Structure 1
Amino acid sequence: MQKTNRTRRLVRCALLAAVYTVLCLVLGYASFGPVQFRIAESLVMLPVFGPEYIVSSVLGCFLANLLGSTPIDVIFGTAATLVAAAGTWLLRNVRIRGLVIPASLPPVLVNAVIVGALELTFFVPDAAATLPAAAFNALTVGLGEIICCSVLGVGLVKLIETNPALREFFH
């Protein structure tokens, strides 16, 4: 029985990593660049259901960045997702009116700083590495993360928690 559970978790994580990757690549116009609206980031809220979803988020981000972005994004973007997903897991039990809103804040803040302020400002060849540019990049990435994690991701978690079949699949 324990081996079956481990196999199910592994398959579930691989499936979700693939979904993250495909969403980023299919919606590449919005997933990469200075203004990011990465729908796949809503899946970074899944560590609310277990630490194994940290792995699926990080693997999906790594593959998406490897196949659709730059080597710098493979490093910084994947590191940002690791920190963000771990933060989501750490805040999984903190709720506001029953919603995991606090758990959505690590992806917003971490990506705004690492991807927006640092990566896009200092490692994009045509970017002006200035404080206003860093603030603008952090703002645009942060706003995309708010929509994808704090709105869509929190909604996804609520849907999973209130649907018995989905709840069983993700737990």
Structure 2
Amino acid sequence: MRDKKVLFIVQAAAIAAIYVVLTVVFAPLAFGQGQIRFAEALTILPYFTPAAIPGLFVGCIIGNFLGGAIPLDIVCGSIATLIGAVGSYALRKQKFLVPVPPILANTVVVPFVLFYGYGVNLPIPLMMLSVGAGEVISCGVLGLVILLALDKYKNVIFKTA
């Protein structure tokens, strides 16, 4: 029992750390109305382990903070990632639908943060298209590639204690 708790914490921490690194390294692309956040590709990881849910949430909080996001973005952006991760976990039996919840959550939430938090003076539907396109690239394309690659090794990489 204890080994499973330790494994859960280690997996969540590792996922959070990778999310933070990807967000900070690619910060110029990860923030703004035309964003492609490569770290969001990791939102497919709940397909493999529920530890990815808190890992992605904490990673997004830290990544947003270190990336210089405003408090509204840190909170709401991280909640969007959390909603996406929970949705990905809920759809884990339909492999090809796993990237859909993070795409939808961020497409809906982030434009409002950009408009009301950062004062980006563009129509919200236009920002939804822009943010949604970035999410399709990061989650739908890159995330699905990662999912298919890791699926071959899931029993080795994500084995339970």
Q: TM-score range by the shorter chain?
A: over 0.9
Check the 8 A contact 1:88/1:107 in 2, yes or no.
yes
Check the 8 A contact 2:104/2:132 in 1, yes or no.
yes
Cα distance in 2 for residues equivalent to 1:167 and 1:38:
28
Q: 1:83 and 2:78 equivalent?
A: no
Letter of the 1:114 partner, please give it. Answer: V
2:158 match: 170
Cα distance in 2 for residues equivalent to 1:170 and 1:139:
34
Bigger relative contact order (CA 8 A; separation at least 6): 2
1:156 match: 146
Check the 8 A contact 2:11/2:51 in 1, yes or no.
no
1:55 to partner: Cα distance = 0.6
Q: 1:120 and 2:110 equivalent?
A: no
Cα distance in 1 for residues equivalent to 2:72 and 2:103:
19
Cα distance in 2 for residues equivalent to 1:153 and 1:121:
27
1:103 match: 98
- The aligned length equals 158
Cα distance in 2 for residues equivalent to 1:47 and 1:151:
16
User: Stretches of 4+ moved more than 2 A in 1?
Assistant: none
Q: 1:92 and 2:92 equivalent?
A: yes
TM-score, with length taken from structure 2: 0.92
TM-score, with length taken from structure 1: 0.87
Cα distance in 2 for residues equivalent to 1:103 and 1:135:
24
Cα distance in 2 for residues equivalent to 1:156 and 1:170:
14
Superposed, which structure 2 residues align to 1:14-29 within 5 Å?
14-29=13-28
Cα distance in 1 for residues equivalent to 2:158 and 2:47:
10
Over the aligned positions, Cα root-mean-square deviation in angstroms equals 1.3
Identify unmatched segments of 5+ residues in structure 1: 95-99
